[in-house]
């Protein structure tokens, strides 16, 4: 997997993501910020290879790479056990059921970092994985957020419930979000861009919540919905903790 852009590569460096190789435009070395980044990469003994604009365009499928690309191998997913072992409490998990748009996933990750989510648990089937586009949409913040690939969300939900985590689904039939106490250990489930949460998953929720809408608009984009509900949770916990 390749990541690109100066800020994203700098973010990877901050979080100690392993960079297998760097490809860069030697013509950019006269830029002081670019030169400083190359020197930092070289000081960490990361293999570096000067290359052409055309080569970088091919690697990134003509994305805006800013003259530098890094090969990071496979994305470093975490496990549910590792997430549950965190000392950061109360838990706040974001569960994603069949999110398919990489830009939505990237935006969700960006929000998750902003509100201090414990981690993201995403379904494997019919879902986008972490790709270069997701990394770009998250502004590189995906490297700060643990992400779990879950083969069966029902099993993951059962494991969370056994650990005392309250499961909230999101659906227009639910209770208004600010009438719900979200200060304790919990997981929020968000569904597919077109179809929402599977009914079989919704039935496993302890409670269903919704974002109130002034008009007859059906719903928000899923990444916007994650932001609205997550920041209400963030507000409640800040108020409770002073």
At residue 214 the predicted structure's pLDDT band, cuts being 50, 70 and 90, is: confident
- Ordered alpha helix ranges (H), 44-181: 53-60, 80-84, 102-115, 132-137, 153-162
- Do both 156 and 196 map to the same domain? yes
Residue 213 confidence (pLDDT): 87
The per-residue pLDDT for range 137-190, each reduced to its tens digit, is 999 999 999 999 999 999 999 999 999 999 999 998 899 999 999 999 999 999
Answer with the one of 20, 54, 71 that is the final residue of a domain: 71
Distance CA 122, CA 206 (A): 19
- Do both 129 and 184 map to the same domain? yes
- Asked if pLDDT for residue 86 goes beyond 90, the answer is no
Answer with the one of 14, 43, 71 that is the final residue of a domain: 71
Residue 148 confidence (pLDDT): 98
DSSP 196: B
- Do both 22 and 99 map to the same domain? no
CATH number at residue 24: 3.30.1330.30
Distance CA 104, CA 177 (A): 21
Answer with the one of 71, 104, 122 that is the final residue of a domain: 71
Residue 84 domain boundaries: 80-241
- Do both 130 and 217 map to the same domain? yes
Residue 220, helix vs strand vs coil: coil
- Do both 114 and 224 map to the same domain? yes
Instruction: Answer yes or no: are the C-beta atoms of 26 and 67 closer than 8 Å.
Output: no
- Do both 66 and 98 map to the same domain? no
Number of domains in the chain: 2
- Do both 29 and 139 map to the same domain? no
- Do both 131 and 50 map to the same domain? no
Distances (CA, A) of 65 to 39, 205, 227: 18, 42, 28
Distance CA 95, CA 119 (A): 9
Residue 90 confidence (pLDDT): 94
The per-residue pLDDT for range 6-27, each reduced to its tens digit, is 999 999 999 989 999 999 998 8
- Asked if pLDDT for residue 117 goes beyond 80, the answer is yes
């Amino acid at each position: 997997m390749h990541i690109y852009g100066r800020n994203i590569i700098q973010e990877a460096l901050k979080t100690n993501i392993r960079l297998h190789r760097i490809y860069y435009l030697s013509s950019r070395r006269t830029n002081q910020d670019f030169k400083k980044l190359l020197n930092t990469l070289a000081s960490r003994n990361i293999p570096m290879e000067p290359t052409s604009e055309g080569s970088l365009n091919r690697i990134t499928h003509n994305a805006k790479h800013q003259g530098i690309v890094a090969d990071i191998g496979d994305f470093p997913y975490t496990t549910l056990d590792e997430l549950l072992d965190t000392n950061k409490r109360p838990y706040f998990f974001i569960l994603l059921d069949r999110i398919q748009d990489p830009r939505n996933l990237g935006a969700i990750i960006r929000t998750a970092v902003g509100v201090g989510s414990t981690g993201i648990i995403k379904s494997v089937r019919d879902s986008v994985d972490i790709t270069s586009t997701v990394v770009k949409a998250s502004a590189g913040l995906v490297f700060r957020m643990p992400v779990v690939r879950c083969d069966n969300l029902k099993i993951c939900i059962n494991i969370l419930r056994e650990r005392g985590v309250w499961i909230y689904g999101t659906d227009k039939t639910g209770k208004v979000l600010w009438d719900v106490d979200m200060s304790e250990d919990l997981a929020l489930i968000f569904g597919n861009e077109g179809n929402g949460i599977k009914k079989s998953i919704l039935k496993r929720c302890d409670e269903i919540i919704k974002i109130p809408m002034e008009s007859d608009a059906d719903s928000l984009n899923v990444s916007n919905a994650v932001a609205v509900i997550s920041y209400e949770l963030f507000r409640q916990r800040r108020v409770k903790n002073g």
